[in-house]
Amino acid sequence: MHLSNQLTFFLKTPGFSEFVGRFGYIGIVVWFLTLDQFTPIPEEVSLLTVGYLSAHRIFNPFIAGVFCLVGFLIVDTIYFFLSKKGSSWIKKKTEESSSTMQQYKKKLNENMPVTIIVLCFIPRMRMFAPILAGSMKLPFRKFLLFDSLALSAFTAIYIVVGFVFNKSLQRIISETKGLETVVFFAAVLIVAVIIVASIRKRKNRRSKKVSL
């Protein structure tokens, strides 16, 4: 097997791409319901990968986007009602971010649509929207409406970026026979590292404020 093909195979084997490759569109929903909740892979990276796979005609981007949205909404609905019932698991999951949650709790009460959209586009902060809305016992239908709109924009943007980025790579390095896949996943890895680093930096800032 050619070296570039070996690298391509290696990069495609673990994680999201292999999972959805085996289970298709249903795999997208299952991923966001299960493994996405317990792995460090940011949702943004998963959506970029959906766009990339769509560019390779493994998925229809519109159908894949709908399944991504369904997965997100199911997860948010679960978080909403668990938080509303005072789940100890939810409290444990968010106890390190209590100060941040208090800030957004006030904003959510004052302007729900804007706050939900803002939280949706902050890496690893999206889950705070349904948790806060549930704990505040806000109307579920109202929350679901704004959450659906925010998630639709969030999903569409990242899938389109993944799709367009892949097409650009194909035009630029079409003569490399497969290296666009390597470059794409390298870029996705860089994005993931930046997102994780920003999350850790934000946590360190919160811990310093608490200590003061």
- How confident is the model over 127-159, as pLDDT tens digits? 888 988 888 888 999 999 999 999 999 999 999
Q: 177 pLDDT band (50/70/90 cuts)?
A: very low
pLDDT of residue 50: 86
203 by Cβ neighbours in 10 Å (0-12 / 13-18 / 19+) ranks as middle
Q: How far is CA 41 from the centre of its chain?
A: 8
Q: Is this prediction's pTM over 0.85? A: no
Short-list 1, 36, 43, CA closest to 19: 36
Q: 9 pLDDT band (50/70/90 cuts)?
A: very low
Measure the CA–CA gap between 147 and 153, rounded to whole angstroms: 10
Q: What is the mean pLDDT of residues 30-51?
A: 81
List all residues 6 or more positions away from 66 whose beta carbon is below 8 Å from its beta carbon.
Answer: none
